[in-house]
Amino acid sequence: MITHMTRISVDVDDKLLKAAREELGTDTDAATVTEALRLLFLRRHAADIMAALESAEMDYTGSADAWRYGGGRDFSRLAEDARFERGSLSQVRFRARVRRVDPVTRAAMIGVSWHPGCPVEIDDLRIIEMPHHGFDGEVHRGELMVHQDIARDVVRVFRELFRAGFPIRRMELVERYGGSDDESMAADNTSCFNHRPIERAPERTSNHSYGKAIDLNTVKNPYVLDDTVLPPAGRDHLDRTDVRPGMIVDGDVVVRAFAKYGFEWGGHWTTLKDYQHFEIPRREP
């Protein structure tokens, strides 16, 4: 068997070296760089890259020239994305990106989550990419489609939830579920835009159709009207005094954060309880 040794060249700036030395308590360049990269990649959850680094021969000299001639690997983008805190390479930070709906997503939406007659145009919507804590103790990255008018406030809300360590099962666009609210809820998915009617009043349009209503951790925070519980798995969470991770209860960090930016909580409603639901109230003309 012939084993090939991969040779990797890395550009490491003085700021990274200084921070790594302070973190590790060492002045040895090679050890510092290796461990700094290890921490950097662990933070990015790049286990596959780390596996390659374990067996790679590291070359820290002449890296700029090595990269120019195809002999190195450029890690500058990873370093930029990590944005580690000063004095700590292992702390994950909340960093969100708000972008327009791309052509591929637009095509997937038409006839699924967006239909002719929808009260908003696709151009009025924005996709927020942002990190969130999961129930597995890891940090994941999700996507939420909202109206452009509330995008910045939604980022502020979820930044507060992230800093509080509030766990979210998943955050995926409803196109992944064929536009089905039932399937999205059953998956405990956190979502916003979906052109559809109100559950109890099919003749009326839901605020989700405007991109101004968010359903959060749907299984742990079900919709309840008399004997109807949606999703059905939410029956395990009808006792709201038995507070478990991911549940939303009156006065908690979730309700307070949304209220700060003008959202109304379905848990405060009297004719029904929609514990997962937060919306910007729509004033009928």
This prediction has a pTM of: 0.68
Q: Is 99 in contact with 129 (CB distance < 8 Å)?
A: yes
DSSP H/E element including 157: helix 151-163
**Residues of the chain where predicted confidence (pLDDT) is lower than 70:** 1-91, 198-203, 283-285
pLDDT score recorded for residue 80: 39
Residue 42: predicted pLDDT? 53
Residue pLDDT, tens place only, 83-139: 333 333 335 789 999 999 999 999 999 999 999 999 999 999 999 999 999 999 999
pLDDT at res. 197: 73
pLDDT value, residue 205: 83
- Tokens (6 digits) for 255: 């309700």
**Joined tokens for residue 243:** 């507070």
The pLDDT of residue 282 is 79
Side-chain-side CA neighbours of residue 282 (13 Å): 14
Where would I find the beta strands (DSSP E) of the chain? 7-9, 57-59, 97-100, 125-133, 139-147, 213-215, 223-225, 228-230, 264-265, 273-274, 277-279
